[in-house]
């Protein structure tokens, strides 16, 4: 008698019994007839193992990297909240590495390629990425400027200053923060969201569960004990998760996350009076001014929704792009 817990090996050729829109390789684990976020099918225990492995990797990479930095810098407390240029680079690269490991683990569990897992219903679209980068840039800049004008006391900014430390921090921010932001999107929206969604078969409940799990884990990973900050991190996760679901991929969420973290890092660096930056997420470090940044996140989500709705209308009206009702067939060659 076959073991019911054993997954059959992925077929090596197109199977006539596989529904249209489902790939041959990993056909039992990736279903292209379902929307992004609910497209992965795993055994019940695999998301648990995946989450535990990601937590171990994230914590292990960061602690190891900071310990090495502490030795190099001769620091008495390498795990303090003060971020030197080298420590900032170590933190960013460890988060980026965790994202890569998370994708590799999901590839191992599903037998599918990373391209298929991260953009299942269409090819990765660089134009979409650039479009959302351009949309996020003025929006995030306006949000940070408003925060500085309306509630400067709610920011960590002290005074403008440029020093050698500032230049080094700016270089680290520009070179490694995009990797850090992309790593978080890979981990939480690209891997954890669809993995948790695989516990439920019905599409909408699956998306809701996957989004909820990714939100809780993302907020917890940022370690904020202040309720305003914890709520803000949860809102970021909700918005970026919905961006990924609406756009059927990670371009929008990566673009917004990169712009947000890079611009915030640049401002924090130049407004630290020439010194290092610190990260304090303890009680009473947040407050109502965070609603300004929350509105910025919601505005970006609306931008993504409007753009994707227009793109869907163009696909339906374009010759040869219409999908027959009921087939569920996906067109991965369409860039829209």
**223: in domain:** yes
How many percent of the chain have pLDDT more than 70?
Answer: 87
**137: in domain:** yes
Q: What pLDDT does residue 175 have?
A: 98
On whether the CB atoms of residues 282 and 228 are closer than 8 A, the answer is no
In angstroms, the Cα distances linking 325 to 20, 199, 312 are 12, 27, 15
- Summary mean pLDDT of the chain: 88
**29: in domain:** no
Host domain of residue 216: 46-316
On whether the CB atoms of residues 111 and 25 are closer than 8 A, the answer is yes
First-to-last C-alpha distance (Å) of the chain: 47
The total domain count for the chain is 1
Condensed to tens digits (0 to 9), the pLDDT of residues 245-268 reads 999 999 999 999 999 999 999 999
pLDDT of 326 above 50: no
**206: in domain:** yes
Rounded to whole angstroms, the Cα distance separating 317 from 297 reads 31
**323: in domain:** no
**11: in domain:** no
Close Cβ partners of 71 (under 8 Å, ≥ 6 residues apart): 78
Mean pLDDT throughout 134-144? 98
- 249-288 b/e (C-beta count within 10 Å ≥ 16 → b): bbbbbbbbbbbbbbbbbbbbbbbbebbbbeeeeeeeebee
Close Cβ partners of 325 (under 8 Å, ≥ 6 residues apart): none
**275: in domain:** yes
Condensed to tens digits (0 to 9), the pLDDT of residues 19-34 reads 333 343 455 899 989 9
Q: What pLDDT does residue 317 have?
A: 87
Q: What pLDDT does residue 239 have?
A: 98
Condensed to tens digits (0 to 9), the pLDDT of residues 182-222 reads 999 999 999 999 999 999 999 999 999 999 999 999 999 99
Q: Which of 75-84, 162-171, 281-290 has the highest mean pLDDT?
A: 162-171
CB atoms within 10 A of CB 297: 22
**90: in domain:** yes
320 pLDDT tier (thresholds 50, 70, 90): low
pLDDT of 121 above 90: no
Rounded to whole angstroms, the Cα distance separating 93 from 112 reads 25
Rounded to whole angstroms, the Cα distance separating 133 from 169 reads 22
On whether the CB atoms of residues 38 and 244 are closer than 8 A, the answer is no
Q: What pLDDT does residue 9 have?
A: 41
């Amino acid at each position: 008698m076959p073991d019911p817990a054993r997954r059959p090996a992925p077929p090596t050729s197109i199977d006539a019994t596989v529904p249209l829109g489902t790939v041959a390789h990993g056909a039992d684990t990736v279903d292209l007839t379902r929307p992004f976020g609910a497209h992965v099918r795993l055994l019940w225990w695999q998301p648990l193992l995946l989450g535990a492995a990601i937590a171990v990797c994230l914590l292990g990479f960061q602690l190891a990297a900071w310990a090495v930095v502490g030795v190099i810098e001769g620091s008495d407390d390498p795990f303090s909240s003060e971020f030197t240029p080298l420590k900032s680079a170590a933190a960013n690269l460890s988060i980026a590495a965790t994202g890569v490991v998370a994708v590799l683990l999901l590839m191992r569990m599903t037998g599918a390629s990373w391209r298929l897992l991260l953009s299942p219903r269409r090819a990765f679209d660089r134009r979409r990425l650039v479009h959302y980068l351009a949309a996020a840039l003025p929006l995030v800049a306006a949000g940070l400027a408003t925060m500085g004008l309306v509630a400067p006391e709610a920011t960590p900014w002290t005074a403008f200053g440029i020093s050698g430390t500032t230049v080094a921090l700016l270089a680290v921010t520009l070179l490694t923060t995009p990797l850090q932001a992309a790593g978080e999107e890979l981990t939480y929206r690209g891997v954890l969201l669809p993995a948790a969604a695989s516990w439920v078969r019905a599409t909408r409940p699956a998306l809701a569960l996957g989004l909820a799990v990714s939100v809780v884990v993302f907020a917890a990973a940022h370690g904020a004990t202040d309720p305003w900050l914890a709520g803000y991190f949860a809102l970021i996760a909700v918005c970026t998760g919905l961006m990924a679901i609406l756009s059927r991929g990670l371009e929008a969420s990566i673009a917004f996350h990169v712009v947000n973290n890079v611009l915030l890092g640049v401002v924090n660096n130049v407004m630290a009076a020439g010194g290092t930056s610190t990260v304090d997420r303890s009680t009473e470090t947040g407050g109502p001014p965070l609603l300004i940044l929350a509105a910025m996140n919601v505005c970006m989500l609306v931008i993504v929704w409007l753009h994707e709705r227009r793109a869907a209308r163009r696909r339906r009206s374009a010759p040869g792009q219409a999908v027959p009702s009921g087939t569920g067939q996906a067109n991965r060659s369409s860039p829209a």
